Each structure stands twice: as structure tokens, then as C-alpha cells.
Structure 1
Amino acid sequence: MDLHQTIFEVIDMRSFSNLWYWIGLAVMWSTASHWVLGVPWDMAIRARRKGGRLEEDFEALVRIYTARLVHIAEVSGLMLTSLIPFLLTVLGVLGFYYRIEFAQAVFLMAFPMTLVWILSIRTAQKVRAADETGEELHRRLARHRISVQAIGIVSIFFTAMWGMLQNFSIGVLG
């Protein structure tokens, strides 16, 4: 068995039947849900419960990450607004028109994460504009986290349904 064949057996370009794809999808959404605007959610919970120095550290970290997200949006916004839809369109056409399963799998991960990225930028802009602190900051981040989780639930459900359809159709046709 040559190296090329071994690599493709391990990677398996049929993504929806590959356990690593589903593990990666779960890790991606778990990470997106845990890191709210770049701040770990357990830190937000601890800061809300105990206050004091933990709350100050939490608010400082939120200020740092919101400033970073807003800066990226301001500096690279036009380029990202052009590049990301182009890449998503390429993946969508390759995946759903030309039926390349790997492109479908990447699209089904990238498109919802693009929505999360847009939501994160909007939330960061709101936090920064209102200079939110304390309870209102915690409420804003909790709403953002719930929105990310909702996008994740819909995405995982749709990806699972599409993946099962692909596996069933390959099983029947192949």
C-alpha cells in the first residue's frame, strides 16, 4: 500500500461517513459556544457570582476582545465582505452543483460560522458603543451565547440530516 492511498484512507474524503468530521463539528460548536466574543463563558459565570476583582478582569477582557473584533471589522471589513461570500459560493457550487462531498461538508461548517462571526461583530460593536458593564454586559453576552447555540443547533441538525441523506444515497447507489 503506498503513502497516497494510506493518507486518503485515513482522511476519507467522504466526510459524512467519517467519524473525524463529526468530532470536528462537535468541537467547533462547543468551542464557539464556550468562547463568547473571545472570553471563556466560565469566566463570565465566575465574575457574575463573585464580583470584585473577577468582574474587573472579565470586563477588561471583554473590552480587549470587543476592541479587537471591531478593529478587524473596520480594517479588513471590505476585504472580508468580498472574500468570504466568494469562498462560500465556490464551496456551495462545488458541493451542491458538482456534488463534491468534501466541499459540502466544509460549506456546512463554514456558512453557519460566518453567521456567528457576523453576530459576534455586531455584538462587539454594541458592547463597545454602549460601553456596557456589570449586569447589562452579562445579559448581552448571555443573549449572544444563546444565539450562537441556536445557530449551532440548527446547523448540527441540518448537517446531520444532509449527512444521513448522503450516506443513504451512497449506500443505495454505491
Structure 2
Amino acid sequence: MSIWQTIFEVIDMRSFSNLWYWIALAVLWSTASHFVLGVPFDLAQKALKHGGERMQDLEDLVRINVNRLGNIAEISGLVIVAMASGGLTILFALGVFYDVEFAQAVFLMAFPMTIVFFLNIRTAKRILVNAPRGEALVDVLRRHRLKTQMIGMLFIFITAMWGMYQNIVTGPLGG
């Protein structure tokens, strides 16, 4: 048995039947909903509860991250859109037309995260324009987090349904 056969036997490349894929999906969405614009959401809740220096820290951290996201969008926005579009198109084509399960699995993680990334850019621009402070800023972060969680729930459901379909169609031994 070659080293590659051993590796592929240990690491099941059928993504939807692999426990590690589902763990990675859970960690991805948990992290995406916890870090709102790069700011831990518990920090926003503590700032709202205690105010004062904690609120100032939150405002500073949001300002830093919003300026960073705005700078990325302004300088590299077109390149990011082109590369993301190309990568997602390749994953979609491999997954749909060539029936590559790994590409399907990665697409079902990457596509919604792309939506969340553009939602981050949109919220960052809104914060830059309106400059909310205090409770208004926490409210913007809370609404952004809710939108991220809604996208996450929708795509976890879609991924679970597609994964179950793939597992039923391919069977326990992949074919």
C-alpha cells in the first residue's frame, strides 16, 4: 500500500460523511458570529453593561477595524472581488459539473463567508459615515451579528440537506 493510499484511507476525502468537515463548519460559523467586524461580541455586551472605559475600548477597537476594512475595500476591493469570483466559480464548476464532493463542501463554506465579508464591508462603511457611539454602536454591531447568524443558519441548513443527499446517493462506501 502506498503512502497516498494510506493517507486517503485515514483522511476520508468524502467531505459530507467526514466528522472533521462538520466540526470545521461549526467552528467557522461560531467564529463568524462571535467576532463582529473583528470585535468579540462579548466585549460589546460588557461595554454596554459597564460603560466608561470599556465602552471607549470598544469604540476604539471598532474604529480601528472599520478603518482597516474600509482601507482594504478601497485599495484591494476590485482584486478581492475578482479573485473571490474566480475561486467561487471554479469551486462551483468542479462541484456541480464534475461532481467533486470536496469542491461542493468548500463552496458551501466559502460562498456564505463571502456574503458575510461583503456584509462586513457594508456595515463598516455605514459606521464610517454615521459614526455611531455608545449604545447606538452596540446596536449596529448587534444587528450585524444577527444578520450573520441568519446567513449562518440558512447555509448550515442548506449544507446539511445537501450533505445528507450526497450521503444517501453515494452510499456508505462512496459509490
Q: Distance in 2 between matches of 1:163 and 1:153?
A: 15
Q: Which residue of 1 aligns with 2:97?
A: 97
Q: Distance in 1 between matches of 2:94 and 2:112?
A: 18
Q: Distance in 1 between matches of 2:32 and 2:82?
A: 23
Q: Distance in 1 between matches of 2:148 and 2:11?
A: 29
Report deviation, 1:24. Answer: 0.1
Q: Which residue of 1 aligns with 2:66?
A: 66
In the TM superposition, what whole-angstrom CA distance separates every residue of 1:60-100 from its partner, at most 9, and x where no partner exists? Answer: 00000000111100010010111111110110000011100
Q: Which residue of 1 aligns with 2:8?
A: 8
Structure 1 residue 128 and structure 2 residue 134: aligned? no
In the TM superposition, what whole-angstrom CA distance separates every residue of 1:117-154 from its partner, at most 9, and x where no partner exists? Answer: 00000000100111111111111110000000000000
Moved runs in structure 1, 4+ residues, more than 4 A? Answer: none
Q: For residue 13 of structure 2, give the secondary structure of its aligned residue in structure 1.
A: coil
Give the TM-score, by structure 2 length: 0.96
Report deviation, 1:158. Answer: 0.2
Q: Which residue of 2 aligns with 1:50?
A: 50
Structure 1 residue 169 and structure 2 residue 169: aligned? yes
Which one-letter code corresponds to 2:67 in the other structure?
A
Q: Distance in 2 between matches of 1:6 and 1:133?
A: 56
Q: What CA RMSD, in Å, does the superposition of the two structures yield over aligned residues?
A: 1.2
Which one-letter code corresponds to 1:10 in the other structure?
V
Higher helix share: 1
Q: For residue 171 of structure 2, give the secondary structure of its aligned residue in structure 1.
A: helix
Structure 1 residue runs without a partner (length 5+): none
Give the TM-score, by structure 1 length: 0.97
Q: Which residue of 2 aligns with 1:27?
A: 27
Structure 2 residue runs without a partner (length 5+): none
